[in-house]
A and B are shown apart, each in its own frame.
Chain A
Amino acid sequence: MLQLFKFKGGVKPDTHKAPSVQQPIGRAPLPPLLVVPLHQSIGGQPTPLVETGDYVRKGQCIGSADKWLSSAVHAPSSGTVIAVEERVAAHPSGLPTLCVVIATDGRDEWIERAPIDYQSLAPERVREILRDAGVVGLGGAVFPSHAKLAAAKSVAMDELIINGAECEPFMTCDDLLMRERAEEIVRGAGIFRDLLQPKRVLIGIEDNKPEAVAAMSAALQKLGEDFAEFEVIAVPTRYPAGGAKQLIRVLTGKEVPASRRSPEMGVQCFNVATAYTAWRAIAHGEPLISRIVTLTGNVEAPRNWEVLIGTPIKDFVALGGPKADTDNYLMGGPMMGFEVPSLEAPLVKASNCIIAGSRTLFPPAPPEMPCIRCGACAQVCPHELAPFEMYWFARAKNFGKTQEYKIFDCIECGCCSYVCPSHIPLVQYFRFAKSEIWSREREKNLADAAKARFEARNERDERDKAEKAARLAKAAAAKKAAPTPEAGAANAAPTAESPADAASEAQTAKKAAIAAAIERARVQREAVQPKNTDGLTIAQRKEIAEIEARRAPLQTLQTAFDMPAGNPRGTENTETTEGSAAPRSTQRND
């Protein structure tokens, strides 16, 4: 038996897990409308690939990853795209985000699915496949999994940890997944093992889930030799044992420093549901389009459901039959979750649990009292911070000091608020301070960039002015040097007989030069390919075509207008850029 370690702090709230584990995982019915937000993971916003009116099939990619740290999104069922627009998001702000709205046709028609023999592929290719299948961390942080599947170059990977702790109260989606689909979880973890090559694979499960521990052990036994380095370990039940850094600490005794990532310590951690979806993606060719969500709290029938991503919360909660006195819904657990801003918002990859709340289940918080500096919050903080100090500074908006007290190491687990005898919502203060610091940083960066551009521009102006002055001075000097017409004529045009002839000659030469210059400019213009036209969406391309069509008659008009005037004046325009392009502006210049 492996020696277990302890993490500091933590609390033991009532788990409330029993009601939702009585029933097996149910398959939620197909909703009439699916609202799939494009930005569901950490990283860049995927580029939409469909537009209104398109027919999509189940599993079809509707948003492709726009860079390495991003993840694709897929149509959860077949149907017609009725809109690509901003809709309210499952986010504490209640602000809209770009969503693909699909009216389902009930046929649930899949795309071509093919299993992938990942062992014959290069690791880079497997990571790409996982990214394009939209596999992200389903524990709640939605970090793109493929980006976690590369071992640090200098440190050998010792342990791969599969996180089945599920420490949040009320939540049982991972528990049920492990009970019912243990084998696929283990096989998914096998993919991660093959990519990371760790020495051991530890599956950590809190000891209040004996059924899950038994199911996972049975699955390991059944799969046999291939998974010899796997081990299922029951860890003591204590919130937040499911935090990645906490579970790593408990299972390996390693403490991941604030500024470093776990692969640098030779550990990597994945949620059980992530391993399951990775297996579905590789072995069945099914992208991440559904997940297990716990519906519990103040409902008649608490249960876990396999729900399509994009199902509106109102359709989902109807499955459980919320009781009459339900007045709010939490997404996520009671410790770290947030109140759902609107029931129109869809379930996303990050949604692991919906809790119907009422005044009896979650009584309103007692009034906030002054901090008495008892230090209870510091004793339970799993990251060994001093929440009461950070609270003072966050409240006083002294953000520099909050950073000195390492506010960005706070995982917002809520232990401090849970134990505070003065009922201070400490986490809210920390969230406020963090978002304020981020926003100030953004503004500072923008201001610095604006300043740099302003200075560069001033410099350029000065340089242009100096150059122009030098040119004028040179011209004046040249004029002075050639004062007499005889000398000029003798120098410039020995063949010219009279000054009048020389003048007309010079004029024609100038005209020819101008015509040549115009021709050169035209050729150049045609040769240049605009660089901003790749990777456009269909809608953008259509828009460009429309604009070009609108501009075409204008352009012919313009050339007609330029023709009679096409002469020295035109070249002057390019010099001063104060052009007289259209008739209107000429009038104004006059």
Chain B
Amino acid sequence: MLTAILIMALGAIVLGSALGYASIKFKVEGNPLVEKIEAILPQTQCGQCGYPGCKPYAEAIAEGEAEINLCPPGGQEGVRKLADLLGREVKPLDAEEKPKQVAIIDEQTCIGCTLCIQACPVDAIVGAAKQMHTIVGALCTGCELCLAPCPVECIRMARITENIDSWKWKYPVIEIKQFKRVA
């Protein structure tokens, strides 16, 4: 009887100390879920979700504070992926889904005030005080954050059209849709 209790107690101590050691040794910094969520978010850093960037939004989702349908650039596809990852229900996007865009500065109107440069979250605008600014199209995420600060409204958003390099083969399945009979 006593031997059995001793054996059990010894086992408990050994396992407990092993687990305790492991929890210190292999401690994970930060929440791994946040990284997974962030990988799904489009990294436009636009703040349209109400959070200052993609990472804060990912943190809020991981904490369970935010809904998963607040990211317009991610679109419905993004909502679906988040729902898959988190085991939540797919919800319709809480905003209008927009096509991909790029900002363009009208160089004739630009006065070189640098306000848009300060607003750009991804350093996609080049220019200096009193010099014309321009947007590096390949780096622009289309977040629209530069539109509001511009004092002369010389920035506009343009849709990114498909070109030969970005063209994709279409999905070969033609879905059968049911049409309501018009009386």
Contact = CB atoms under 8 A, between A and B. Distances in A.
Interface of A: 39, 89, 91-93, 95-97, 395, 397, 425, 428-429, 431-432, 434-436, 439, 442-443, 446-451, 453-454, 456-457, 547, 558, 573-574, 577-579, 581-582, 584-585, 588
Contacts of A574: 129
B45 A454 contact: yes
Nearest to B53: A454
B168 A95 contact: no
Interface in B137-183: 139, 141, 151-152, 162-164, 166-173
A95 B162 contact: yes
Given A93-B164, A579-B113, A585 B151 contact: yes
B163 to A, nearest CB: 6
B1 to A, nearest CB: 56
A573 B167 contact: no
Contacts of B128: 577
Contacts of B129: 573-574, 577-579, 581
Given A579-B114, A584-B111, 14 more contacts: A93-B167, A395-B173, A435-B167, A436-B168, A436-B169, A439-B166, A448-B43, A454-B45, A454-B122, A456-B123, A577-B129, A579-B113, A579-B129, A584-B151
A450 B114 contact: no
Interface string B116-129: 01100111100011
A432 B169 contact: yes
Q: What range describes how many residues of B lie at the interface? A: 35 or more
Contact of B168 (A395, A435, A588): A435
B44 interface: yes
Nearest to B117: A577
A91 B166 CA distance: 13
Nearest to B109: A584
B54 to A, nearest CB: 7
Contacts of B117: 577
**Residue of B107, B113, B167, B170 ringed by the most chain A CB atoms within 10 A:** B113
Contacts of B169: 92, 428, 431-432, 434-436
A457 B167 contact: no
A429 B152 CA distance: 49
Contacts of B43: 446-448, 450-451, 454
26 contacts: A91-B164, A91-B167, A93-B167, A95-B162, A96-B164, A97-B164, A397-B171, A432-B170, A432-B171, A447-B41, A451-B43, A451-B54, A453-B122, A453-B123, A454-B43, A456-B123, A457-B123, A577-B117, A577-B129, A578-B114, A579-B114, A579-B129, A579-B130, A581-B112, A584-B111, A585-B151
Nearest to B173: A395
B173 A581 contact: no
Contacts of A453: 122-124, 139
A370 to B, nearest CB: 12
A439 B77 CA distance: 14
Contact of B45 (A428, A450, A578, A581): A450
Contacts of A588: 151
A581 B113 contact: yes
Nearest to A573: B129
A581 B115 CA distance: 13
Interface string B92-112: 000000000000000100011
A450 B100 CA distance: 15
A39 to B, nearest CB: 8
A400 to B, nearest CB: 12
Contacts of A432: 168-172
B113 A578 contact: yes
A450 B122 contact: yes
Contacts of A454: 43, 45, 53-54, 121-122
B171 A457 contact: no
Contacts of B121: 454, 457
B138 to A, nearest CB: 8
Contacts of A428: 169, 172
A580 to B, nearest CB: 8
Contact of A450 (B139, B152, B163, B164): B139
Contacts of A97: 164
Interface in B53-74: 53-54
A428 B168 CA distance: 11
